[in-house]
Amino acid sequence: MRWRGGRRSQNVEDRRGARMPMGGGLRLGGSGILLVLLAAWLFGANPLTLLQILAGGGSAIETSPDDGYEQPAPAPGGATDEGAEFVSVVLADTEDTWNEIFASGGERYAAPKLVLFSDVVRSACGTAQSAMGPFYCPLDQKVYIDLVFYRDLRERFRAPGDFAQAYVIAHEVGHHVQTLLGTSQKVRDAQQRMGQEQANALSVRLELQADCYAGVWAHHAHRARQILEQGDVEEGLGAAAAIGDDRIQRQTQGTVVPESFTHGSSAQRVTWFRRGLESGSMQSCDTFAAGSP
């Protein structure tokens, strides 16, 4: 992926190494986090809520950078190392792309902020640990990511490559687009009137649309700035497949429970990301109108 030398976003907030008040709650290790995530998958609970309850509030936990990059002097746009620079450039590219798409429809795009953190972070949606992976919080309209996730994406999920990493950011920005369009709120309102299985199915459609929007970004970014190189599309599709609910459940609990899916299967995620990538059209991303996503 061609990204070096690109514009850096001014919307990056670097909280790595910061102290965060957590309270006298339970401090979870890696196995404890996995148990919380497993419980969330099995019972359809929000893992952010579970972790927040266990974390409590009050004392401070010291966090330190663990992203594998050197830490030179601060660079423009909040990027202080290669990993942060990459994130900043990709975020800037999503800003340019969605600015153009919204403007073409007579609307104004309000860009999200992206928060870099280490180990644990507090958002308006609750307290999260890095083992949960990147996430978007609609309440503060921020994307959160611990760069250690990219190591996990490469080594644990076997999805290497810079475009695979860019897809992750573009997916979370896709959730921001849904927030601006009011889609996320409509889904949350509808879920309040549903049983858990139906609510999960609606969550899958929301996530698959964010995958499709990530593809729309890549389509327009490449057409405008030729960002894609040979093998990049395969990297993105590989990342989409690697984080499907079926694959993650098989790895963590040994069985697959489709009724508990909240993000979609590997095949579904690949299909919708490809659809956005090939069409470049937001209209092609209506996962809610599809009979079966």
| % of the chain residues with pLDDT over 90 | 65
pLDDT(62) > 80: no
State the total domains in the chain. Answer: 1
Tell me the per-residue pLDDT of 159-172, one tens digit each, with 9 for 90 and over.
Answer: 889 999 999 999 99
Which residues, including other chains, have CB under 8 Å from residue 146's CB and lie 6 or more apart?
66, 67, 116, 117, 118, 119, 121, 130, 134
- What is the bridge-based pairing of β-strands 135-137 and 12-14? unpaired
Is residue 250 in some structural domain? yes
Q: What is the pLDDT of residue 193?
A: 95
Q: What is the pLDDT of residues 95-115, one digit of tens each?
A: 999 999 999 999 999 999 999
Residue type, 199: A
CA quadruple 78, 127, 261, 208: dihedral sign: negative
**Largest Cα span, the chain:** 52
In a domain, 62, yes or no: yes
3: in domain: no
The answer to whether position 5 is within a domain reads no
Q: Is the confidence at residue 42, as pLDDT, over 80?
A: no
Residue 63 has pLDDT above 70, yes or no: no
pLDDT given at position 293 = 85
Whether 82 has a pLDDT exceeding 60, the answer reads: yes
Residue 20: which pLDDT band, with cuts at 50, 70 and 90? low
**In a domain? residue 4:** no
In a domain, residue 261? The reply is: yes
The answer to whether residue 6 sits within a structural domain is no
195 falls within a domain: yes
Enclosing domain of residue 191:
12-285
